[in-house]
Amino acid sequence: MHKLLCLALLLAASAAHALSDSEKEMLITTAVEAYEQQDYATALKKWQTLAEAGNAEAQNNLGILYNQGQGVAQNYAQARAWYEKAAAQGHAQAQNNLGALYAEGLGVVQDYGQARTWYEKAAAQGYAAAQFNLGILYYEGKGVTQDYGQARAWYEKAAVQGDADAQYNLGILYANGWGVAQDYDQARAWWEKAAAQGHVNGQYNLGVLYAEGRGVVQDYAQARAWYEKAAAQDYADAQYNLGLLYANGQGIAQDYGKARAWYEKAAAQDDAQAQYNLGVLYYEGKGVAQDYGKAREWWEKAAAQGIPQAQFNLALLYYNGKGVSQDYNQAFSWFEKAAIQDFPLAQYNLGALYDEGKGVAQDYGQARVWYEKAAAQGNTGAQYNLGVLYAEGQGVAQDYGQARAWYEKAALQGNADAQFNLGVLYSKGRGVAQDYSQARVWWEKAAAQGDAGAQYNLGVLYYNGEGVPRDISKAREWLEKAAAQGDESAKAALQKFGK
């Protein structure tokens, strides 16, 4: 939005008309008092008289009344007509306001070139709002070739005159290294100037700098102080970030109750992440009594705004029947919404529903499709399940080589089931040359994670001396570990040892 400033209430007596100085002074005083009392009809009448007498300030103010529909029906064409009269006399604010009409296409065909022309006239007179508006045109490449360097130059002219928006935008350029070398110190300096004038975005961004330690020593207390200033102006992102600070105990004692209070303020403004986090608090019973129904309500709000984590969590509620009746169809629907957004856990679970035929007709082909999407993002469960599909020939031609490849991906990330199954492939020579030593290596990894089947198989290897020297003591040791977890085969084997 381009700046079209409010009325200038100190009017210059520059009209060349048969009005005496005392008459002009009285009209000016009456118009200003009427405007301040929101008596726009009277203000309009008095400024009309002055404007028709050639007073540029009154012509500009009359244009503003038509522009804003104050005391008269909103009429952009009339606003433009009066601005043009004032602009022709060199009135900087009127020139800027004309530029804004062209930039927004109000009462005229939108024309960024004309907007630039009028802004330049006002900017040449040192008019800060026009300098800022020129910066916007160069920043966005409207009516000119996009040029961050030129944007910076114009922002600086307005910023040194105290224009808070220009100060804020300069900070953005320095923070991102657009048109200047990236410099968080300079970003902070400009945001501080804007923030000191109550600029809410400047206050919020200062909070982010302190929270992330960019251009300053990381300081959550300072982050909180700036977020609080922005939050007091009802800035939803700041309210949400304050909630995070309280939830994580950063710069303040951990307090889930206060986290909830700040999340609620942001959520009331439809901040989707705040709605999601409120759902988490209710689900976990942090700062509130545990309430799956409330968790669902907040996640539904966030999910409706497309937050994939909320959609995924809703699916889990329906899958497990928490706060709702168990409903695999609903679970499928929510998993699908999140999966389409490339959320890997949802893709994995959607694959599992197709795999098991829950909430949808069983379809190993579709299961494979979704597992592959999740697996490509490193989801170990999906990589393991793909290995199972290839090993068993479900939805694909049986292929132990492919099974091994997928098991390895999951196993290298520490998936115990995949490590166990890799051991099985090596022990039986499926998709690989038979190799009891490699089987032992993978079973040891799974066994170290408490996999009872791997512990039992290691006991058998040591008992039979396959891939290792025969060692009855080690065989007994592994069998005992498996038996302690209830493995019936291990219990039976131990009986041979007189147990």
- pLDDT of 140 strictly over 70: yes
Asked if 173 and 179 count as a contact pair (C-beta separation under 8 A), the reply is yes
Return d(Cα 305, Cα 187) in angstroms, integer: 32
pLDDT at 160: 98
Q: Which residues of 479-496 are buried (b: 16+ CB within 10 A; e: fewer)?
A: bbbbbeeebebbbebbee
Where does the pLDDT of residue 499 fall: very low under 50, low under 70, confident under 90, or very high at 90 and above? low
Mean pLDDT estimate for the chain: 94
The mean pLDDT value for 129-147 works out to 97
Where does the pLDDT of residue 8 fall: very low under 50, low under 70, confident under 90, or very high at 90 and above? very low
pLDDT at 18: 62
- pLDDT of 467 strictly over 60: yes
Where does the pLDDT of residue 5 fall: very low under 50, low under 70, confident under 90, or very high at 90 and above? very low
pLDDT at 32: 85
Asked if 132 and 154 count as a contact pair (C-beta separation under 8 A), the reply is yes
pLDDT at 1: 56
Cβ within 8 Å of residue 57, ≥6 positions away: 8, 11, 12, 14, 50, 86, 91
> Between vectors from CA 424 to CA 420 and to CA 426, what angle results, nearest 5°?
115
Q: Which residue has the higher pLDDT, 79 or 17?
A: 79
Where does the pLDDT of residue 498 fall: very low under 50, low under 70, confident under 90, or very high at 90 and above? low
Return d(Cα 387, Cα 411) in angstroms, integer: 11
Q: How many residues can be counted in the chain?
A: 499
Structure tokens at 427: 């022990």
The mean pLDDT value for 405-416 works out to 98
pLDDT at 3: 62
Return d(Cα 193, Cα 205) in angstroms, integer: 12
pLDDT single digits (tens) 166-222:
999 999 999 999 999 999 999 999 999 999 999 999 999 999 999 999 999 999 999
Cβ within 8 Å of residue 181, ≥6 positions away: none
pLDDT single digits (tens) 24-63:
888 888 988 999 999 999 999 998 999 999 999 999 999 9
**H or E segment and range at residue 225:** helix 220-231
> Between vectors from CA 195 to CA 190 and to CA 197, what angle results, nearest 5°?
110
Look at the alpha carbons of 35, 39, 44, 50 in this order and tell me if their dihedral is positive or negative. Answer: negative
- pLDDT of 89 strictly over 60: yes
pLDDT at 31: 86
